[in-house]
Amino acid sequence: MTKIEWTRRAGTKGETWNPIRASNKATGGVGHFCTKVSVGCQNCYAADFQKRFKNPVRYAAQDADQVELFLDENALLKPLHWKKPRTIFVCSMTDLFYEGHPPEWIMQIWAVMALCPQHTFQVLTKRIARANDMLGGISPKGDHAMCKAINEIPYGLGNRKGSLEMPLPNVWIGTSVEDQATANERIPVLLETPAAVRFVSAEPLLGPVDITSLDGGYHDGVRLIIDCLTDTALDAHDTIGGIFGAKLDWVICGGESGRGARPMHPDWARSLRDQCKAAGTPFFFKQWGAWQTIYDRDKDDLDWRACPTPQNSNERYVNLEGGHGFHGERVVFAKRKTKKASGRLLDGVEHNEWPPIDQRKAAA
Ligand code: SF4
């Protein structure tokens, strides 16, 4: 059972599943490992947890030789023992597609998911290019490595009528983005990745993101602006449909919590909410995180002399670009709070939407 809000769908129990683990060579402690890939990883909560497991590593390439990674068979087989439907966040303490995880382990994890059609698995990665490389090569009937992995699962466990229809209908694939640059880079690759459901987690959200105007780079000398909520693109002259044959099915948004957390400007969250609403895409607002906006220069319409001034590191101005000066567009004043105190209301509303439970879309 987990408290992660977006696993807690009605009719299922929320769960995390971490079959890949890391044994610390010096202490013998068993925890997890990963390496940071972008600024969204800066305050990785999983890295922060490792000391509790007697695994005092940083999630950094320099520390990789301090641990031995292994696929924990007991943990691997756990979903086969869970009879009632669960919504399961896969590898919540690392990134399943971290380069140090061999393809055979990932295939074994896919085999277990194939054998558990009663569960919904949510795979969230920042390494969507590796996910696309691996999953794009699997034929609609599965592949040899997966069939072999399925055959190796001990007899008598789970539902032996597991699906081999690819992409697996019970596996959702998402990518994390934190700003426009990571959205531009990762979301188009996600849309090319075979998956029954594709989602984006904009958490921690560190800047404005327009997912209806991704910079798709140049194609045949023409720059494409992509709307990934409608699967259309704008070139120099026209709107073109069917770019990927897929669009985003779900968007999660949230601010950062924990040590060193950075504040989220409320307009960044509002903008994602409004983009999703216009396209009819389910939107989930996870949390404000460690900061709460208590004053909005434009909306509260105060004379600037009456504005609060940050007194210490627990108080900050945030403007639309993410800067911390009083000047700039849409300046708000944010205060550090607990995650619980800052809550989950966006303009007074809790946004708890998921893709339809019986969604069975085959990818292109
Ligand atoms: S990819 Fe995920 S698990 Fe890995 S360091 Fe970044 S935030 Fe942490």
| pLDDT digits (tens), the chain, 364 positions | 888 999 999 889 999 999 999 999 999 999 999 999 999 999 999 999 999 999 999 999 999 999 999 999 999 999 999 999 999 999 999 999 999 999 999 999 999 999 999 999 999 999 999 999 999 888 777 677 777 777 777 755 644 555 577 899 999 999 999 999 999 999 999 999 999 999 999 999 999 999 999 998 887 788 889 999 999 988 777 888 888 899 999 999 999 999 899 999 999 999 999 999 999 999 999 999 999 998 888 777 666 666 778 888 999 999 999 988 878 889 999 999 999 999 999 999 999 999 986 544 433 3
63 lines ligand 1 (CB under 6 A): no
Query: Hey, CA dihedral for 166, 172, 178, 180, is it positive or negative?
Result: positive
Per-residue pLDDT at 363 = 34
Q: Which residue has the tokens 């940050």?
A: 310
Query: Hey, CA dihedral for 322, 326, 328, 332, is it positive or negative?
Result: positive
Atom 3 in ligand 1: residue holding the nearest Cα: 94
Atom of ligand 1 nearest to the CA of 125: 1
CA of 89 relative to ligand 1 center, distance in Å: 14
Q: State how far the Cα of 247 lies from the Cα of 347, in Å rounded to an integer.
A: 27
59 lines ligand 1 (CB under 6 A): yes
Contact 96, 130 (CB under 8 A): no
What pTM does this model have?
0.93
Q: List all residues 6 or more positions away from 49 whose beta carbon is below 8 Å from its beta carbon.
A: 31, 32, 93
What is the distance between the terminal CA atoms of the chain, rounded to a whole angstrom? 34
Per-residue pLDDT at 361 = 41
E strands within the chain? Answer: 13-17, 20-24, 30-31, 67-71, 86-90, 120-125, 171-176, 197-202, 214-219, 222-227, 232-234, 239-241, 250-254, 283-287, 291-296, 315-318, 332-336, 345-346, 349-350
205 lines ligand 1 (CB under 6 A): no
128 lines ligand 1 (CB under 6 A): no
CA of 131 relative to ligand 1 center, distance in Å: 15
126 lines ligand 1 (CB under 6 A): yes
Write out the two tokens for 184.
Answer: 């531009």
CA-based radius of gyration for the chain: 21
Kindly report the backbone phi and psi dihedral angles of residue 145, in degrees, each rounded to the nearest multiple of 5, phi listed first.
-60, -40
Ligand 1: residue of 34, 38, 39, 57 to mutate (most ligand atoms within 8 A of CB) is 34
95 lines ligand 1 (CB under 6 A): yes
Ligand 1: residue of 16, 37, 130 to mutate (most ligand atoms within 8 A of CB) is 37
Query: Hey, CA dihedral for 256, 257, 263, 267, is it positive or negative?
Result: positive
Atom of ligand 1 nearest to the CA of 34: 4
CA distances from 216 to 67, 93, 223 (A): 38, 31, 7
CA of 243 relative to ligand 1 center, distance in Å: 30
33 lines ligand 1 (CB under 6 A): no
Q: Respond yes or no on whether the N-terminal peptide bond of residue 167 is cis (omega within 30° of 0).
A: yes
97 lines ligand 1 (CB under 6 A): no
Atom 6 in ligand 1: residue holding the nearest Cα: 41
Per-residue pLDDT at 218 = 81
Ligand 1: residue of 94, 101, 175, 186 to mutate (most ligand atoms within 8 A of CB) is 94
Atom 5 in ligand 1: residue holding the nearest Cα: 36
Q: Which residue has the tokens 């085999």?
A: 111
Atom 7 in ligand 1: residue holding the nearest Cα: 41
Per-residue pLDDT at 3 = 87
CA distances from 147 to 132, 152, 153, 207, 275 (A): 20, 9, 10, 43, 41
